[in-house]
Structure 1
Amino acid sequence: MATRSTYFLALSALLVPRCVQVALAATADEWRGRSIYQVLTDRFALPEGADTDACKVEDQTWCGGTWNSIRENLDYIQDAGFTALWISPVNQNYDGERSAYGDAYHGYWIKDISQLNDRFGSADDLKALSNELHKRNMYLMVDVVVNNVMATQTDPDFSQYYFKDKSQYHPYCGIEWGNTTSEQDCWLGDEKVPLPDLDTRNQDVIDGYNTWIKSFVQEYGIDGLRIDAAKHVNIDFWSGFCASAGVFCIGEVFGGDDVDALAQYQGPLDSVLNYNMYTAVTAAFKIPGDLNVSAIQDTLEQSKQKFKDITVLGNFLENQDLPRWHNQSVDLQSLYNAMTYNFMSSGIPIVYYGQEQYFAGVHDPYNREPLWQSNYEKTAAYNLTATLNMFRNHLVGTTDWAKQDMEILTTSEYGIGFSKGDVITVLTNIGSPAQNGTQIAVKSPYDSSYAMTDVLTCRQWVTSSEGMLDVEYTGGGKPVILVPEKVLAGSGMCGQDSSLASGSKTDSNDGLVVGGSRLLATLLSAVVIVFAWPW
């Protein structure tokens, strides 16, 4: 049977001459319409013939994933509807005697940024991955570490690094958490594995980084950067660095519910990973947990006031530094509702590999499981991801939905209803068990008896008096996404035809249009069968 990726390659070949290299835009506007799949290169896929049982996460060592093995397994990512791939750092890492915390399989222990990590492949291999992604109209995001390098003592040999002079680093000191100066100037890590901190106010360091990143992005066709430990670098460094890169920059500003602390970085950076909303979504949906839905509303209201643009913030439920959702929450519907929030709300959805396989690692190194041990199953979570991506890609490709404002319509102890464009999403935190008599009533902008469709089930809905939408939970706490039937026209969903290249909206800012073709924006709509919900 032909896969969706087979259809993609065959049809896109008709549209793009083989002698023409498609140039993909890579600004915040273009990234807004993307969805991102995050992988640790070492843990996504093995070369053919490798031992699939050898990887033990507790060993904290290399398991054998490469850039080539990612490229050879891109169908798994594209079939789930993702339009961008974020890979872990590609630069040369520490590769000496095993450290107190294992080996540098994760890629974050930088030695020389001007060199590639030969554990993961060659320059040609990385370029081949970049080229293959671009052939599929997908973006490549690369993780970069700018704040620090890695050492095994507090007085290392600085000549081994890209910046070779001791004066280009801050003197060793342990971080005093909560003190901004200390967080920026002192060293991450500890005395067992210290991470020497670059002085990013030193002009030689500034010039060296800006020269390197410009060349790096151009040589490997990189479309976006995820910047590690961004809050540990003086904030005024980032504007020049990102200008030199010339691509979308999203930073890791690790934190909790302090919106002000996070929002100040949007400006110097294009975007940040939305730790504020991660904290709120966890508070709202995790079972057992606070089930505090108002946390989402409070965070959203503050974010609208304090961020420059919430539509390009990175929405996530997991990453390599956090416990897996399935470790924190025992109920699958809690995952499905939280996932749906991240895809249907304002921002760029990011899925950390293995979330779709219900991985349950608690923290480093146990949240860095090898994906191949899942056999790449098309689980219910994988299929929901594909459906959410399919619908979101259709909206992005045919309207300016990604830029549209998000409004909370109602909140209650049981959940939340919100709108974004023509889409009304109703989510609940009650979990899987049926709850007769529990409902969420949402006031829609439509008149009574107005027909709508639930995108996840293709079930028909009709508004009641005064345009109310009453969602009941006699079948358990499932997410609901409601749209007027006309919104699905051309989507290939719920019995609608697909419009591969037929005069749909073309917007250079939607992140999915290349060369004026709508195929690239609606491919998934053409070839994905609507998700069969597991109830």
Structure 2
Amino acid sequence: MLPSLLLFSLLLSNFRPACAATAEQWRTRSIYQVITDRFALEPGAVVNECVISNSTWCGGTWNSIRENLNYIQDAGFTAIWISPINQNYEGPRTAYGDPYHGYWPADVSQLNEHFGTADDLKALSAELHLSLTQEKKELIEQVDIVVNNVMATSLTPDYSSYMFKSAEYYHPYCVIDWTNLTSEQQCWLGDTTVPLPDLNSENSDVVSQYSSWISDLVQTYSIDGLRIDAAKHIRASFWPAFAQSAGVFCMGEVFDPSVPNVAEFQGPGALDSVLNYPAYYALVSAFALPGPQNISALTDTISQSKTALGNFLENQDVPRWHNLSVDPQSMYNAMSFSFLSDGIPIVYYGQEQGFSGNADPYNREPLWPSNYTNTSSYQLMTTLNQLRNFLVNTTDWATQSMDVITSNDHGLAFQKGNIVTILTNIGAPPQNFTNTAFQSPWAHGTVTIDVIACRQFVVASGGYLEVEYTKGGVPVVLAESSFLQGSGLCGATLAALHDSSTGDVVAQSSASRHTPLVWLAVPLFLMSVSLGSW
């Protein structure tokens, strides 16, 4: 039996209006992405080996997500993205395994029984929207959906098992020409082993039934937003009416490194938002070690894109960052960009645990073997969330545009609102350098705090700030000390400044609740460096 408080909130959830969070409100959120089957096991469940290469069920459920929300909320996330909830292929195991991931839909009008019941999903939604304490607010829920296709085991499937039960509702089979957008939108994804029959979104019956289905799904399960798989593979003009029927924020997957190609699917004539694949490719190019260390790729992407895109370093379709980069500092810098630049930060479960799987299925590891450890990466994303939540709750920071202050081959500094973020790609080893500086937006004598290391920097004559790399290339996030009052960040440092009768800057901050990030408690950045050998 459900506890009385949860049962009461569950009853209330059935009357929650759709559109609980607008697109502008989603801009203020940070998202933690989970694959339901791989995030957690229910209490008392037998811990299984979960061999990743077997590509089969490992036992995660909607109830096990609900039982482990503290791990997400303690890190400061304000939204959760859950893998597809609808019925998937049921049948003999394929050459590519079983549909534990949820991306092989069958009848989407039904739920996936592997993850629980309708009541289980409603209970999860109710728990997400329950404000537990003053420090631990509600999470809003983004559910992954697959609209473009169904899954089959032959090129002549039995369509009666799907929601759309006749071949007339599907495009005829053809092989995709990846240089032709029309072909991408009308031919079949997958291959001849596991083909993915393509729905005909030009068919008026398909449009009508999908509109009814998504409206009912959102309202029945109190969903706040949708992540739409393979959005690029349906014509952009299909999406406005679909999104209007959903009545909630819609973020599409447009798997493309080109800003113009991605931008076609975001805006009044398409979707509220899209995943920021151009920035993902640019971040890999700029920060992954070894790699081209191409900072200009990132600054070019920034100059072309000024919309509310979903920023990420990992997801279920790309290799883990640690698979691409041997240097942990590279992820800390790239992660800081995701949180503090324009857009909505998204963290894929396990990124904070240093998972290192390559492509599918190896990037879909179970999280429980990590024991949900409070790693340095977990602590960093907690600090970034705490800062970002403070900014969006007290200022209009979320709607302000970032501006690049300066950049070169080894890093960049950018400003968004009251925050200056300084990133580098030089990696963890100490570097030799010629001591120079960059011009800040602050006046001479302003005391700033690096909120990651809780270290103070005073602005020099002419507005210059000098930050150095004596112990490797860690990210720096600066704010005026007075601005951080009430944030809960670097409390001891701020108190020392406030209590100082001489006005002198304290050389080394006192301990704060973030000092477990010992790898960050060092002097930091330099915009123009002369690098020595590794």
TM-score normalized by structure 1? 0.88
Q: Which letter maps to 2:230?
A: A
Aligned to 1:4: none
- 1:391-413 residue CA offsets vs partner (Å, 9 max, x unmatched): 10000110010111100001012
1:296: Cα distance to partner?
A: 1.2
Aligned to 1:186: 187
Alignment of 1:196-215 (within 5 A): 196-215=197-216
Q: Which letter maps to 1:81?
A: G
Aligned to 2:501: none
1:25: Cα distance to partner?
A: 2.8
Matched, 1:72 2:67: yes
Alignment of 1:71-110 (within 5 A): 71-110=66-105
- Quick check: 1:489–1:496 contact (8 Å CA) kept in 2? no
Residues of 2 paired with 1:168 and 1:190: CA distance?
20
1:274: Cα distance to partner?
A: 0.3
Q: Which of 279, 282, 295 is the matching residue for 1:280?
A: 282
Aligned to 1:328: 324
Alignment of 1:375-386 (within 5 A): 375-386=371-382
- 1:202-261 residue CA offsets vs partner (Å, 9 max, x unmatched): 0000000000000100010000000000011111100100010010000000012x1110
Aligned to 1:63: 58
Q: Which of 400, 411, 423 is the matching residue for 1:404?
A: 400
Alignment of 1:35-184 (within 5 A): 35-136=30-131, 137-184=138-185
- Quick check: 1:384–1:531 contact (8 Å CA) kept in 2? no
State the SS of the aligned residue for 2:108: strand
C-alpha spacing 1:288/1:142, structure 2 compared with 1 (3 Å) = same
- 1:99-136 residue CA offsets vs partner (Å, 9 max, x unmatched): 11110000000001110000000000001111101013
Residues of 2 paired with 1:22 and 1:404: CA distance?
31
State the SS of the aligned residue for 1:112: coil
- Quick check: 2:490–2:513 contact (8 Å CA) kept in 1? no
Aligned to 1:458: 454
Q: Which of 503, 506, 518 is the matching residue for 1:534?
A: 518
- Quick check: 1:22–1:134 contact (8 Å CA) kept in 2? no
- 1:65-100 residue CA offsets vs partner (Å, 9 max, x unmatched): 000000000000000110000000000000110011
Q: Which letter maps to 1:231?
A: K
Matched, 1:421 2:417: yes
C-alpha spacing 1:497/1:249, structure 2 compared with 1 (3 Å) = farther
- Quick check: 1:490–1:496 contact (8 Å CA) kept in 2? no
Residues of 2 paired with 1:151 and 1:260: CA distance?
33
Q: Which letter maps to 1:230?
A: A
- 1:176-212 residue CA offsets vs partner (Å, 9 max, x unmatched): 1111111000000001100000000100000000000
1:489: Cα distance to partner?
A: 1.4
Aligned to 1:303: 305
- 1:325-367 residue CA offsets vs partner (Å, 9 max, x unmatched): 0000000100100000100101000000000000000010000
Q: Which letter maps to 1:77?
A: I
C-alpha spacing 1:182/1:126, structure 2 compared with 1 (3 Å) = same
Residues of 2 paired with 1:444 and 1:148: CA distance?
50
Matched, 1:224 2:225: yes
Question: Structure 1: which 5+ residue stretches go unaligned?
Answer: 1-11, 305-309, 499-527
Matched, 1:436 2:439: no
State the SS of the aligned residue for 1:435: coil
Aligned to 1:263: 263
Aligned to 2:385: 389
State the SS of the aligned residue for 1:198: coil
- Quick check: 2:454–2:493 contact (8 Å CA) kept in 1? no
State the SS of the aligned residue for 1:182: helix
1:297: Cα distance to partner?
A: 0.9
Q: Which letter maps to 1:369?
A: E
- Quick check: 2:48–2:58 contact (8 Å CA) kept in 1? no
Q: Which letter maps to 1:532?
A: P
Q: CA RMSD in A?
A: 2.0
State the SS of the aligned residue for 1:339: helix
State the SS of the aligned residue for 1:349: strand
Q: Which letter maps to 2:73?
A: Q
Q: Which letter maps to 2:126?
A: N
Residues of 2 paired with 1:280 and 1:361: CA distance?
20
Residues of 1 paired with 2:322 and 2:300: CA distance?
25
1:52: Cα distance to partner?
A: 2.4
Q: Which letter maps to 1:163?
A: F
- 1:490-516 residue CA offsets vs partner (Å, 9 max, x unmatched): 111111799xxxxxxxxxxxxxxxxxx
Matched, 1:313 2:297: no
Q: Which of 255, 270, 292 is the matching residue for 1:290?
A: 292
Residues of 2 paired with 1:481 and 1:341: CA distance?
10
Residues of 1 paired with 2:292 and 2:436: CA distance?
19
- Quick check: 1:283–1:291 contact (8 Å CA) kept in 2? yes
Q: Which letter maps to 1:202?
A: N
Q: Which letter maps to 1:298?
A: D
- 1:375-426 residue CA offsets vs partner (Å, 9 max, x unmatched): 1000000010101001100001100101111000010122010000110000
Q: Which letter maps to 1:237?
A: F
Percent of aligned pairs sharing the same letter: 59
Q: Which letter maps to 2:46?
A: D
Residues of 2 paired with 1:52 and 1:451: CA distance?
51
Residues of 2 paired with 1:64 and 1:270: CA distance?
33
Residues of 2 paired with 1:447 and 1:497: CA distance?
21
1:530: Cα distance to partner?
A: 2.8
State the number of aligned residues. 485
- Quick check: 1:143–1:227 contact (8 Å CA) kept in 2? yes
- 1:30-60 residue CA offsets vs partner (Å, 9 max, x unmatched): 1000000000000000122333242001001
State the SS of the aligned residue for 1:37: strand
Matched, 1:355 2:357: no
C-alpha spacing 1:259/1:440, structure 2 compared with 1 (3 Å) = farther
Residues of 2 paired with 1:427 and 1:383: CA distance?
18
Residues of 1 paired with 2:242 and 2:311: CA distance?
24
State the SS of the aligned residue for 1:436: coil
Q: Which letter maps to 1:262?
A: V
State the SS of the aligned residue for 2:362: coil
